[in-house]
Amino acid sequence: MKIKLLIIFFFLTSNILLAQTIKGKIIDEDAHNVIAYVTIQVDENHKTISNENGEFELLVNSLPCELYISHISYQSVKIKASDQFLLLKLKPIAQNLNEVVVGNYALSIMKSTYDKALINVEESFFAKAFLRQIAYETDRPTYLNEIFFNADWKCYGLLKWLPTESRFLQNDSHVSYTNISVSAFELSGFLANNHVMKPLSSKLDSLYSFKIKSTYQLDGSEVAIISCQLKVKTEKPYFDGDYYINTDTYQVLKLDGKIKNFSLTSNGILRAKAKEINLMSQYHLNNDRKNVLDFSVFNIKSKMTVLGIGTKELELYNTLYMIDYNNSYNNNLKALQSKTNDVKTTQNMVYNSDFWKSNLIIKRTIKEEEAIKNLEKSSIIK
């Protein structure tokens, strides 16, 4: 028995020693600018996306290995990686401006996409997910929230969760973001829900006007970029921007636009007003050929005043990343409410700084790393 245990131990430790981290940067082959949110993966269990600076880190079992690199606006490539640092160049996909088509072809695509989405509208897709939120006040870091959790995602948003690892860091700022994660979850779907208006709804043609901006070929299929503009007055938060849709399968590939009418609540002498709110979400087909969330980026730029005087610029960056989908993540999930408080939900979990150093999921920028160091020194909550 001892011999067997030693053999098992040797096997496990050998695998750990063989595991290596690939680091890299991804740039546009023509313009040489960095490309954010590129998917880099070996398989479904070894994948990541590049950060806003085009940088990535990925833990692999061993080198060499085959990497698949993909982005909705660039030609996908497969490479054999043998080095621990890679500079990757992607070639942009040429887009075609469409000629005028008789009838509203864009509306027809949106209706077909909505009809197809209704087939699985109430189906739950259980996943292991990761949320990173970081806030700055006039460029000074004030808040960090990182959570690993199990999730129940539907095509109109993330509804339930169970945090498994978390850390919450905050300094003495008067601004609190303790329940903003709910908004990030509600916005992650491609269908409209009770909290935010989106083009894919039962009344899509009466609420929005549609126009095809351009088309291009991706993996043998046509992708149409459809501009969606609200044409009615509303006080409800709504999406204004572009849908990327595969016109062969009516699969939603991406949303890219702004959230209008999004209100920030404030108390006492503080007043906060949203200046710009950007949303970008990307989707893919799972093994059952169903449309699921890949990741969602939700960023808020706002302005805070005190007693009507003195102005501070506020920035909050939210990245929701679906690590993998599996029905095993179905257990003990709790329903999310509009007042779900991130601090109360996660403050009793043990804070392990070593865990967070070795579980990046998405590579942090230098600015984010510095912010975390500063917050760990001055944080009032961990």
What are the strands, taking DSSP E only, across the chain?
20-28, 39-43, 46-49, 55-60, 65-71, 74-81, 85-90, 125-137, 140-154, 157-170, 208-218, 221-230, 238-246, 251-260, 270-285, 291-306, 309-325, 334-335
- Extract the tokens encoding 359: 């579980």
Q: Which of 250, 246, 236, 247 lies closest to 186, judged by CA?
A: 236
Residue 350: what pLDDT? Answer: 74
Residue 267: what pLDDT? Answer: 59
Could you give the strand order of the β-sheet that contains 65-71, starting from the edge strand earlier in sequence?
A: 46-49, 39-43, 65-71, 74-81
Residue 232: what pLDDT? Answer: 94
Residue 20: what pLDDT? Answer: 85
Residue 307: what pLDDT? Answer: 65
* Alpha-carbon dihedral 289, 291, 295, 299, rounded to 10 degrees: 170
> Is residue 212 a contact partner of residue 235, using CB atoms and an 8 Å limit?
no
> Is residue 153 a contact partner of residue 176, using CB atoms and an 8 Å limit?
no
| Mean pLDDT, the chain cut into blocks of 10 residues (382 residues total) | 43 50 93 94 88 92 90 93 89 77 81 95 96 91 91 96 88 76 93 94 94 92 95 94 96 96 70 85 92 96 74 90 95 86 71 79 91 80 50
- Residue 223's beta-bridge partner residues? 216, 246
Separation CA 35–CA 39 (nearest Å): 11
Residue 99: what pLDDT? Answer: 52
> Is residue 321 a contact partner of residue 297, using CB atoms and an 8 Å limit?
no
Q: Radius of gyration of the chain from Cα atoms?
A: 22
64 preceded by cis ω (within 30°)?
A: yes
Model pTM? 0.89
Domains annotated for the chain, with CATH where assigned, are: 2-90 (2.60.40.1120), 123-194+252-378 (no CATH)
How many CB atoms sit inside 10 A of residue 301's CB?
15
- Extract the tokens encoding 6: 């030693």
Residue 224: what pLDDT? Answer: 95
> Is residue 262 a contact partner of residue 277, using CB atoms and an 8 Å limit?
yes
Separation CA 374–CA 34 (nearest Å): 27
CA triplet 378, 184, 249: central angle to 5 degrees? 145
Separation CA 283–CA 265 (nearest Å): 31
Q: What are phi and psi of 376, to 5 degrees?
A: -65, -30
Classify residue 177 as exposed, middle or buried by CB count within 10 Å of its CB (0-12, 13-18, 19+): buried
> Is residue 96 a contact partner of residue 215, using CB atoms and an 8 Å limit?
yes
